[in-house]
Structure 1
Amino acid sequence: MRSWAINNRYHHIALWIYLLIVVAHWAEHISQAIQIYALGWPLHEARGVLGVPFPWLVHSEWMHYGYAFLMLVGLILLRPGFTGRAKTWWTISLAIQAWHHFEHLLLLIQALSGSYIAGKAVPTSLIQLLIPRVELHLFYNTIVFVPMVVAMVLHMRPRPEERAAMDCKCAARSLVTTR
């Protein structure tokens, strides 16, 4: 079966575009944490980089859900381009993001219905019942990002048998060569 161009000819560029989107999202969460913990901003004013000029973004469950969905779709679409150890790590990231997506879907449904779980005053995810939202999203983004990066590194530096099974030229384009 022939794979999509995104998983062979364009896999390398697709991975880097995807990584850029993920890192930009990370920057938002990290800047929000800095605003809260380093700068002492009140939680309602700590809105990340884009949230300062566009505060509605932070409060939009559609925007948060859309990003979680985009992450899930990217992980699914790019997965067939991976082999061996890299595919295992990418799949771990995908599984964690599937749960993260579910939590955002739950938040979106609550926002749309006006009915919140556990008697809370705002949309609340299941794990958010245990961990505050800012910290929870830093955690989620970390546990999705780390295996994703491990997968990308292993993909760019495959073992000979993994390289032989690859349809893309990501390893050939890698700036680092392996022996």
Structure 2
Amino acid sequence: MTAIPIRRGRWQSLNAGGHRTALNVFLFIVIAHWAEHIVQAIQIWGLGWPVPESRGVLGQFFPWVIKSEALHYGYALIMLVGLIVLRKGFTGTARTWWNISLGIQVWHHLEHLLLLFQAQSGLFLAGKPVPTSIVQLIVPRVELHLFYNTLVFIPMVVAVILHRKPSDDAVCTCARA
């Protein structure tokens, strides 16, 4: 049986010479999403807006965005894929912190998958009237997702800071530029 050749060049470059660019693009996406959650929190607790009207920045112009489980799941999936794909570029303690972020995102992704399933099927968890995640049974949704995104973001930042320090075992050029 003949093996099918797999083109690995692009994926490998994301963890070598292209790691810095890929990481910066990924971090921009992550920070933009996290900023949306922070703006929503400011709208609720700082400005006193009702939760349904507190839709972050994009949600003010595109209200359906805040209600789209498919869009939220898509972002959770992008986060998961980004953490997995860029992981090989990290070494040592930086990889440990990146792995912590990845582990938390796995759970966050599963919660969004559960929400998406409920939205698509109309079968809601614990008899709730809307899609509800497991931890959302205890913590309100706005607070929970701000918390999840913070939990994923903090170890990711630690990993990037450690990663950008010059190292003998680095597989990319992030620390040299």
TM-score by length of 1: 0.92
Q: Runs in 1 of length 4+ with deviation above 6 angstroms? A: none
Alignment equivalent of 2:92, drawn from 84, 92, 95: 84
Alignment equivalent of 1:69, drawn from 64, 77, 92: 77
Alignment-derived partner of residue 35 in structure 2: 27
Matches within 5 A, 1:21-170: 21-158=29-166, 163-170=167-174
Deviation at 1:31, TM superposition (A): 0.6
Aligned partner letter, 2:173: K
Deviation at 1:70, TM superposition (A): 0.1
CA shift digits 1:128-175 (9 cap, x unpaired): 0000000001100111000000000000014xxxx22211111111xx
Cα distance between partner residues in 1 of 2:61 and 2:160? 33
Aligned partner letter, 2:151: I
Aligned partner letter, 1:172: R
After superposition, the CA RMSD in angstroms is 1.3
Cα distance between partner residues in 2 of 1:170 and 1:74? 17
Deviation at 1:23, TM superposition (A): 0.6
- Where 1:52 maps in the other structure, the secondary structure is helix
Aligned partner letter, 2:54: A
Gap regions ≥5 residues in structure 2:
1-7
Identity fraction in percent: 63
Cα distance between partner residues in 2 of 1:171 and 1:41? 43
Aligned partner letter, 1:13: T
Aligned partner letter, 2:48: G
Aligned partner letter, 1:146: I
CA shift digits 1:22-68 (9 cap, x unpaired): 01001110110011111111111000000011000000000000000
Cα distance between partner residues in 2 of 1:25 and 1:117? 26
CA shift digits 1:6-29 (9 cap, x unpaired): 000100111111110001001110
Aligned partner letter, 2:85: L
Cα distance between partner residues in 2 of 1:71 and 1:148? 11
Deviation at 1:111, TM superposition (A): 0.1
Higher mean C-alpha displacement, 3-12 vs 139-148: 3-12
- Where 1:76 maps in the other structure, the secondary structure is helix
Alignment-derived partner of residue 171 in structure 1: 175
